[in-house]
Copies of this chain bind each other. A is one copy, B any other.
């Protein structure tokens, strides 16, 4: 019998989107529950005292909070099922590169770009007394200006690689795609026409896992 998986997420949260890409790449069916973290719902804080999305709940197990912990956990539990297409490769050196780039997007890109974008987008949905209101455009401008060098870095990496961490699709690609796709609020991403990043992103977008998450839209947002 299939284990019941539940993901607490938010459609505008890039870390949630990463977890959704990953779960679909594993082919794991998951019940999705939309969480408005700014409400600081008590039952949610019990699952994750840090109060952040995503949180994966695997029946009969302690809740798994955060993008990278979910990635490590799913690899340990289901990695073998992907055979040679394992999203965190077994080779020691390859693991360093996949984790380095997964953290690049989940931490650095989030701090410089997708975090501010997410925070400013949340404001539209938040009540005024919880910090909601109109977006801080100066902050969004600063985030926009940071995107360029990340795209240039992707172009550099993809100059000699098929996927960003090497010859195979990995968690690194899914993290990059999750954060890039949630920054659409800032308008078109500054792809360079000659760069390899644009073609890589198109390849990712054509994957069924990617398409099904994008097709969800706000339908995935079922609030408890």
A-side residues, CB < 8 A to B, are 49-50, 61-66, 68-69, 72-73, 76-77, 92-93, 95-97, 99-100, 103-104, 107-108, 153
Nearest to A156 among chain B residues (CB) is B49
Q: Which residues on the B side are within 8 Å of A107 (C-beta)?
A: 107
Q: How far is the CB of A70 from chain B (nearest CB, A)?
A: 10
Q: A50-B104, A61-B92, A65-B100 are in contact. List 19 more A-B contacts (CB 8 A).
A: A50-B108, A61-B93, A62-B93, A62-B97, A64-B96, A66-B100, A66-B103, A68-B99, A68-B103, A69-B96, A69-B100, A69-B103, A72-B95, A72-B99, A73-B92, A73-B96, A76-B95, A77-B92, A107-B107
- A153–B49 CA distance with the chains assembled, in angstroms: 10
Partner of A62, one of B49, B64, B69, B96: B96
Q: How far is the CB of A113 from chain B (nearest CB, A)?
A: 14
Q: How far is the CB of A179 from chain B (nearest CB, A)?
A: 15
Copies in the complex: 2
- A49–B150 CA distance with the chains assembled, in angstroms: 11
- A64–B104 CA distance with the chains assembled, in angstroms: 13
- A103–B107 CA distance with the chains assembled, in angstroms: 11
Q: Which residues on the B side are within 8 Å of A63 (C-beta)?
A: 96
